Amino acid sequence: MSTIAAIGTALGSSGINIIRISGDKSKDIIKNIFNNYSKLSPNTIVYGKIIDNEVFLDNVLVSYFKSPNSFTGEDICEINCHGGSYITKQILETVIKNGAEMASPGEFSKRAFLNGKMDLSEAESIIDLINAKTKIETKIATEQLNGQLFTKIVKLREKLVEILAQIEVSIDYPEYDYEEVENSNVIKLLDLEISEINKLLNSYEEGKYIKNGINVAILGRPNVGKSSLLNNLAKYERAIVTDIAGTTRDVVEETINIGDIILNISDTAGIRETEDVIEKIGVSKSIKKIDEVDLVIYVLNIENKLSIEDINMLSKIQNKGIKYIPVINKMDEYEKMFFDAFMSELNKNNITTTINISAKEDLGIDELKSKIMSMFFDDTINNTNEIIIVNERHKKLLEDSIEHLKIAKEEVVKCMPVDIISIEIKESTRKLGEIIGTDVSQDIISKIFEKFCLGK
Amino acid sequence: MEYNAEEYDVIIVGGGHAGCEAALASSRLGKKTAMFIINMDTLANMPCNPNIGGTSKGHLVREIDALGGEMGKVADKTFIQSKMLNMSKGPAVHSLRMQSDRMKYHIVMKETLENQKNLDIYQAEIVDIIVNEKKDKILGVKTKTGAIYNTKAIVVATGTYLKGKIIIGEISYESGPDGVFPANDLSQSLMNIGVQLRRFKTGTPSRININKMDLSKMEVQKGDSEISLFSYDNVDNESMLNKKQVDCYLTYTTEKTHKLILDNLHRSPLYSGKIEGVGPRYCPSIEDKIVRFKDKERHQIFVEPLGEYTSEMYIQGMSTSMPEDIQIAMYRSIPGLENATLMRSAYAIEYDAIDSTNLNLNLEYKGIQGLFFAGQVNGSSGYEEAAAQGIMAGINASLKIDNKESFILDRSEAYIGVLIDDLVTKGTNEPYRMMTSRAEYRLNLRQDNADIRLREKGYNLGLISQEKYNKFLIKKEMIELETERLKKLNIYPTDETNDLLKELGSSEITTCHKASDLLKRSEISYKDLIKLNPEKNILRKEITEQVEIQLKYDGYIKLQLEQIEEFKKLENKKLSKDINYSEIKGLSLEARQKLDKQKPLSVGQASRISGVSPADISVLLIYLNQSQKR
C-alpha cells in the first residue's frame, strides 16, 4: 500500500500543527528531510530541523511509531511544526515530494480498520469519516451552515423535478389533456436555475478564501517600503505566526490574520532592470510570483516618481487580470503639489483607486485592510445568512449541474425532442441530488401522481 | 379422493398473459409443461382495457418478442387499431399501442398453446402446492378434483384470482374477473408453506353497447395511417400493414358527473372503508380523481371497441366501485352516453398478492426450491408487465431444472430488467405499472432496438430459431454498413443541395460535409439525405430507422453508454449468498435486516434496497475488499 500524508490539525492561527505520515516509506521520507534522523527510534520524539533541498523550513519535533504498534498499524511518523498554514503546507509538500501521497478523507482510519487495528463497531464516527464523500459533507451543508445549503439545494432541485414531472407525464400519458411543457417556460426556468447555481458557485471562491486564506504578493521597486508595509501589517495585527528568517530565499512569507481572514503574504525582491545576475534571479522570481497569488499589492513611492518598470509591471498585472491594489507609500512625507502630479501621472497610465499609506506612521493601513476585504468578499458575505460553498465536491457537482442545464437550454432552442432534453435535466437534478443524497427517479414518479390526475 | 396423474417438468398455475408466456417459454425449451386454468375460455383474457402496448408497455412487448415470446405476434394478428405514441417526443419514448380484438386474441393465443409441442393445457383449479417435509422444495400440485401432478418447477401466475373479491358499492362477492370463479383454496396452501400474502386492489370501468351511444357527440380517434407492428417477424407482412382499422372515441365528464359522485361518496366502498386492498395511484377510480383533483373541470373519457365482432365498448377513464344505480346515472351524465345501458358494470377487485421482495431476481421464491411467481400476483399490473415476467419465469424454471445459471436482465439491458429489479429489489406498495421514467437508461432501451439488445440472448437460450437469428444478423449488418457509408459520404455544397437545405429550414453549407453530420441537424431526416444522394437503393424502414437514430443521437447514446459503464461497476461487485450480514458490524441495523432478508446478488442491487444508505454500501465495499485479501 502507498504511503500517505496529511495535516492532522486544523489550519489557521493555531500555534502548532501536526503532519502525519503513514506507510512503509514513512521513515525513508523523514530520513530525506530531517537532520536529526539518526536519533529517531520507535516511540521517541526528536527535535531537529526540516530541510528541503538544503533549504531550512522549520524547527520541529518528529515522533515515530513502528508498525504494527501505531494507529494505522503501519509505520507512522508525525512532524510537529510551527502553526500557520503556509509553513505547514510547505512541509507537507516536501513530504509529498519525497514520496508520500495526499491522504484522502478518512484514509488513516480506513487503514487502521483494514489492518485490524480497529473494530468497525468501535466508532461509528470512523465510518462517517470513511464515507466523508457523502456524510461529512452533507453534515457541513446541513449543520455547519444551519441547513441553509440543504434547503437551497432542495429548492433548486424541486423546480427541476417539477419540470421533469411535466415532461414525463406528457411522455407516459401522451393522450391526456395536460398542457405540453412550453419551450419558453422551460428556458425561463433553466435561466433562473443557472443564475441561482452560479450565485452559489461564486461563493465558493469566497469560501475558499475563508478556508485557506488569501495569497498576497507585495511587489514594487526596491526601497519603496514593501518590507515596512509587511512589518506594519504584521505588527498591526500582532499575529506573526511564522517568520522564516535566516533563509537564503529572497521571497519572505508571512501568515497574518485580518479579522477572521488569513493573508498569506509574500514580500518580494524589488523589481528593477539590473545586470547583477543574482538580483536578476530575485526579480524574475518576484514576477513569477504574480501567477501564484490571488492579490498583488503594488507599492509605489511618491519620492521615486513612476518608473518605466512600474508601468510595465502594472500593465502586466492588469493584462493577467489579477486583482491588485496600487498603494502609495510615504504619504507622511508628501507635499500636495507633488502628490497631485504623481496622481495625474498614474491616471495617465490607467491606474486609479489607489490607497495612500504611511507604513512608518501607521496611516491608511485600516483603509488598505478594508479594501482587501471588499475585493474578496461581497458586503453580504459578512451577513451570516448568505450560503457559502466551501466544499470542493459540492463545487464540482454544482458546476456539472450547471453544465447540463446549459446543454438542456441549447437543446430546447434547437427544438430537440423532450426525451433528449429530459436526459440533461435529469442528469443536472441527479448532480444536485448527490449534494444532499437523494434518488431522482423516485421523486419524479411521486411528483407525477401528486400533480396529475391519470388513469383508466 | 386423490389419484396420481401425469408427471411434468414445469407446471404453470394460471393461463393469463404471464401463464401463457411462461408455458410457451418452458415447453419451447424442451421441458414437458402443463398449464392449468380455471376456465379454458378465459385463456389470455383481457378483463380490463382491450389494448396491448402503450408507453413503456410497448417496449416490454418488443422485448418479449426479441426474446422469442408470443405477445407481440398475437397482438399483430388480432389488432384493430395501431398507433405509435409520442412520435414528437424523441426516439426513446416512441411507444406502440394496439387496440386488440379481445376474443380473437384469446382464440389465437389458445390455438398457439394447443399446437405447442411439449405443452398440455388443463381446465382445473389448483388447490394445493405439494412440498417436501422441510417445506423448502416443491414436489407437485393438486387439482380440486383430486389429481396430483408431480413436477420439478412451478410457476404461480394467478393474476387477480387468488381469493378474488369483487366490490360494487355496498355489494361484494367472491369472484375472479369477468365473472369467473376465483381461486380460494390456493392462498391457504401457499401460506402453509411460508409464502407471505397481502391484499391488493384494482378496478375496471363499465362496458357499454355502441348502439346505445350518440357518437356524434364524441371526437373520433383514428389509428395511424402508416401501421406499425410489434413483432420483428412481421416487418414485411403486407396484409397486417394494410389492415383496415377501427375508430376509438373521446368524450368528457361533466359538472353533473362530478356532482353525482361527490353527493354519493358515502356509498363508495373506497371511502366507506370497505376496501382494504391497496390500489394503484396511476389507475385511480373516477371518484378518486374527482376528490383528489377538485379543480379539474372535466376528465377525459376514451371509448374503445372490444373487438371487430362485438358492439361492446370499454369506457376508459371511468373505473369505479360505486353502487350500480349510481354508476348508471354517472355514465349517463356523459355526452354521448345519455341513453347507455351497462352491459357489464364497473367493479373493484381485491386479490392476494405476494411481497415481491421475497423473490430472487430469477423470480423464484426465496427458500422454496422450484417455486416461481410471475405476473399480477407479484404486485404488478398490466398484461405486458405480466407477460414479461411470465417469459422470464418460464425461462428460469427451465434453466433451474437443467442446473444452469439464471437468466437475469439488468436495468441497462431491458425494461424487463427494470421491471423485475424494481419489484424484487425495491418492492412495491401498490400495483406496479411500467413507466419510461422508471428506466434510467431509456435512450438505450428503445422499443426500436429491442432486437439488437436481446435477440442474441433469445437465440442463445434456444427460443429463437436459426433462421430468425440469421435474418437478424443480416439486418444488423445492413445497419452497420449503411451507418459507415453515411459517415464517409461527402455532401458537396452544390446549388441543388443548398436549395433542399433551405427548403427544410436548415442553414446552407459552403464546404463539403459528411452525410452523417448533416443528419445530426434536427430538421434533417434520413429521407432528406437520400434525396441528396439518390443513387442508393432503397432500404427497409427497420434499417433506416436504426441508422437515423444511431447517427442523430450519437452523442447522447455515447453519454448514456458511459453512464451504463459506471452503473455496471457496482453491478459487477458480486455478493455471495452466504454472507452473514448481521456479523458485519459497521452496517446499520436496518441495512443488516434488509440485506439478510433480500440477499442481493451485487453491491449495485444492494444499493437499491430501501433502507440501505450510501454509508452501508461503503461498509460493504470495505468488507469485500477485506475478505478478498484473506
**What residues in A contact B206, CB-CB < 8 Å?**
none
Residue B289 distance to chain A (closest CA, Å): 6
Nearest CA in chain A to B49: A456
Return the higher-pLDDT residue of A118 and A373. Answer: A373
Q: Of A418, A453, A456, which has the smallest distance from its Cβ to B90's Cβ?
A: A418
Q: State the number of CA atoms in the 13 A half-sphere of A189 facing the CB.
A: 20
Distance of CA A248 to the CA centre of its chain: 29
Tell me: the pLDDT tens digits for B163-201? 999 999 999 999 999 999 999 999 999 999 999 999 999
Answer for the pair A83, A46: CB distance below 8 angstroms, yes or no.
Answer: no
If one counts the domains in chain A, the total is 3
> All 3 cell numbers of residue A399?
458546476
**Local confidence band at A115 (pLDDT 50, 70, 90 cut-offs):** low
Amino acid B548: pLDDT: 92
Q: Are residues A227 and A116 in the same domain?
A: no
Q: Residue B12: beta bridge partners?
A: B35, B155
Q: Are residues A198 and A223 in the same domain?
A: no
B348 touches chain A (CB under 8 A): no
Interchain CB distance below 8 Å, B88 and A417? yes
Residue A8 falls inside a structural domain: yes
Q: Of B205, B438, B522, which has the smallest distance from its Cβ to A445's Cβ?
A: B438
**Cis amide linkage into residue A417, ω under 30° from 0:** no
Task: Collect all residues with Cβ–Cβ distance below 8 Å to B352 and sequence separation of at least 6.
Answer: B162, B163, B187, B190, B197, B198, B199, B200, B377
Other beta carbons within 10 angstroms of residue A288's beta carbon come to 12
Give the lowest-confidence range in A194-198, B6-10, B48-52, B459-463.
Answer: A194-198
Amino acid B149: pLDDT: 98
| Residue B171 one-letter amino acid | I
Handedness of CA B582, B588, B592, B595 (dihedral sign): negative
Amino acid A385: pLDDT: 47
Interchain CB distance below 8 Å, A417 and B91? yes
CATH topology of domain B573-629: DNA polymerase; domain 1 (1.10.150)
Tell me: the pLDDT tens digits for B429-438? 889 999 998 8
**What CA–CA distance (Å, rounded) separates B374 from B356?**
10
Amino acid B484: pLDDT: 92
Burial of B186 (0-12, 13-18, 19+ CB in 10 A): buried
A419 touches chain B (CB under 8 A): yes
Q: Are residues A165 and A112 in the same domain?
A: no
Taking residues A315-319, what's their average pLDDT?
84
CATH of the domain at A107: 3.30.1360.120
**What CA–CA distance (Å, rounded) separates A442 from A452?**
16
Q: Are residues A180 and A232 in the same domain?
A: no
Q: State the number of CA atoms in the 13 A half-sphere of A154 facing the CB.
A: 8
Amino acid B477: pLDDT: 95
Give the lowest-confidence range in A227-236, B53-62, B445-454.
Answer: A227-236
Q: Residue A65: beta bridge partners?
A: A76
Q: Are residues A230 and A187 in the same domain?
A: no
What residues 383-402 of chain B have any CB closer than 8 A to a CB of chain A?
Answer: none
Other beta carbons within 10 angstroms of residue B350's beta carbon come to 25
Q: Is pLDDT at B218 greater than 90 in this prediction? A: yes
**Phi, psi at B423, each rounded to 5°:** -65, -45
Q: Are residues A156 and A197 in the same domain?
A: yes
Q: Which of A364, A382, A400 is the last residue of a domain?
A: A382
Q: Are residues A254 and A353 in the same domain?
A: yes
The closest alpha carbon to A109, from B625, B582, B622, belongs to: B622
Instruction: Concatenate the DSSP letters of all residues of A76-98 into one string.
Output: EEEEEEESSHHHHHHHHHHHHHT
**What residues in A contact B55, CB-CB < 8 Å?**
171-174
B510 touches chain A (CB under 8 A): no
Q: Coil, strand or helix: which one is A155?
A: helix
Amino acid A200: pLDDT: 85
Residue ranges of E strands in B112-215: 119-123, 126-131, 138-143, 147-150, 153-156, 165-168, 171-174, 197-204, 207-209
Compute, in degrees rounded to 10, the torsion defined by CA atoms A89, A94, A97, A98: -140
Handedness of CA A428, A433, A438, A443 (dihedral sign): negative
**What CA–CA distance (Å, rounded) separates A51 from B254?**
88
Q: Which of A95, A112, A132 is the last residue of a domain?
A: A132
**Local confidence band at A308 (pLDDT 50, 70, 90 cut-offs):** confident
Q: Of A128, A423, A441, which has the smallest distance from its Cβ to B438's Cβ?
A: A441
Q: Is pLDDT at A201 greater than 90 in this prediction? A: no
| Residue B36 one-letter amino acid | F
B618 touches chain A (CB under 8 A): yes
Answer for the pair B263, B213: CB distance below 8 angstroms, yes or no.
Answer: no
Q: Is pLDDT at A383 greater than 50 in this prediction? A: no
Name the CA radius of gyration of chain A, rounded.
28
Considering A166-175, A392-401, B134-143, the range whose residues carry the highest mean pLDDT is B134-143
Helical spans, DSSP H, in B10-56: 17-28
**What CA–CA distance (Å, rounded) separates B205 from B316?**
7
Answer for the pair B395, B414: CB distance below 8 angstroms, yes or no.
Answer: no
Return the higher-pLDDT residue of A142 and A180. Answer: A180
**Local confidence band at A350 (pLDDT 50, 70, 90 cut-offs):** confident
Residues of chain B with pLDDT > 90, as a percent, come to 71
Tell me: the pLDDT tens digits for B528-580? 888 777 666 678 888 999 999 999 988 889 888 988 988 888 888 899 988 99
Q: Coil, strand or helix: which one is B138?
A: strand
Q: Are residues A21 and A121 in the same domain?
A: yes
Mean pLDDT of chain A: 75
Tell me: the pLDDT tens digits for A389-423? 766 667 888 999 999 999 999 988 888 888 888 88
**What CA–CA distance (Å, rounded) separates B79 from B100?**
4
The closest alpha carbon to B164, from B377, B378, B349, B430, belongs to: B349
Residues of chain A with pLDDT > 70, as a percent, come to 70
Residue A53 falls inside a structural domain: yes
**What CA–CA distance (Å, rounded) separates B304 from A456?**
12
Q: Are residues A173 and A126 in the same domain?
A: no
| Residue B208 one-letter amino acid | I
Amino acid B126: pLDDT: 98
Answer for the pair A92, A7: CB distance below 8 angstroms, yes or no.
Answer: yes
Return the higher-pLDDT residue of B391 and B607. Answer: B391
Distance of CA B569 to the CA centre of its chain: 28
Distance of CA A229 to the CA centre of its chain: 25
Helical spans, DSSP H, in B220-364: 238-241, 255-263, 269-272, 286-292, 324-332
Return the higher-pLDDT residue of A352 and B527. Answer: B527
pTM attached to this predicted model: 0.77
Nearest CA in chain B to A437: B614
Taking residues A289-301, what's their average pLDDT?
84
Give the lowest-confidence range in A392-401, B107-116, B268-277.
Answer: B268-277
What does the DSSP 8-state code read for residue B140?
Answer: E
As a CATH number, domain B207-350 is 2.40.30.260
Amino acid A186: pLDDT: 87
Interchain CB distance below 8 Å, B619 and A456? no
Q: Is pLDDT at A11 greater than 60 in this prediction? A: no
Answer for the pair A22, A76: CB distance below 8 angstroms, yes or no.
Answer: yes
A208 touches chain B (CB under 8 A): no
Interchain CB distance below 8 Å, A172 and B436? yes
Measured at the alpha carbon of residue B283, what is the angle toward residues B279 and B287, in degrees to the nearest 5?
85
What residues 57-76 of chain B have any CB closer than 8 A to a CB of chain A?
Answer: none
**What CA–CA distance (Å, rounded) separates B49 from B51?**
6
Residue A456 falls inside a structural domain: no
Residue B464 distance to chain A (closest CA, Å): 31
Answer for the pair B349, B279: CB distance below 8 angstroms, yes or no.
Answer: no
**What CA–CA distance (Å, rounded) separates A128 from A115?**
18
Measured at the alpha carbon of residue A375, what is the angle toward residues A370 and A378, in degrees to the nearest 5?
90
Taking residues B342-365, what's their average pLDDT?
96
Answer for the pair B220, B302: CB distance below 8 angstroms, yes or no.
Answer: no
**Local confidence band at A381 (pLDDT 50, 70, 90 cut-offs):** very low
Q: Are residues A250 and A368 in the same domain?
A: yes
Taking residues A152-178, what's their average pLDDT?
85
Q: In what order do the strands lie in the sheet with B95-100?
A: B51-53, B95-100, B79-85
Mean pLDDT of chain B: 92
**What CA–CA distance (Å, rounded) separates B460 from B407?**
11
Going from the C-alpha of B138 to that of each of A368, A375, B4, B133, B189, the distances in angstroms are 85, 77, 16, 10, 12
Q: Is pLDDT at A247 greater than 60 in this prediction? A: no
Q: Which of A83, A107, A132 is the last residue of a domain?
A: A132
Domains of chain B by residue range: 207-350, 466-562, 573-629
CATH of the domain at A293: 3.40.50.300
**What CA–CA distance (Å, rounded) separates A214 from A206?**
10
Q: Is pLDDT at A134 greater than 60 in this prediction? A: no
**What residues in B contact A453, CB-CB < 8 Å?**
284, 289, 292-293, 296, 299
Q: Are residues A429 and A367 in the same domain?
A: no
Tell me: the pLDDT tens digits for B195-210? 999 999 999 999 999 9
Interchain CB distance below 8 Å, A174 and B86? yes
B89 touches chain A (CB under 8 A): yes
Return the higher-pLDDT residue of B288 and A110. Answer: B288
**What CA–CA distance (Å, rounded) separates B19 from B394?**
9
Answer for the pair A153, A436: CB distance below 8 angstroms, yes or no.
Answer: yes
Q: Of A120, A414, A454, which has the smallest distance from its Cβ to B282's Cβ?
A: A454
As a CATH number, domain B466-562 is 1.10.10.1800
CATH of the domain at A159: 1.20.120.430
> All 3 cell numbers of residue B124?
382445473
Interchain CB distance below 8 Å, A168 and B91? no
Which range marks the domain in which residue A198 is found? 140-205+389-451
Q: Are residues A75 and A222 in the same domain?
A: no
Answer for the pair B82, B224: CB distance below 8 angstroms, yes or no.
Answer: yes
Q: Is pLDDT at A260 greater than 70 in this prediction? A: no
**Phi, psi at B587, each rounded to 5°:** -75, 145
Match 435535466 to its residue by C-alpha cell: A425
Taking residues B57-78, what's their average pLDDT?
98
Return the higher-pLDDT residue of B345 and B289. Answer: B345
Q: Of A177, A414, A445, which has the smallest distance from its Cβ to B435's Cβ?
A: A445
Tell me: the pLDDT tens digits for A61-103? 999 999 888 888 889 999 998 876 678 888 988 998 898 988 8
Which of B49, B83, B93, B559 should one mutate to test binding to chain A, selecting the residue with the greatest count of A CBs within 10 A? B93
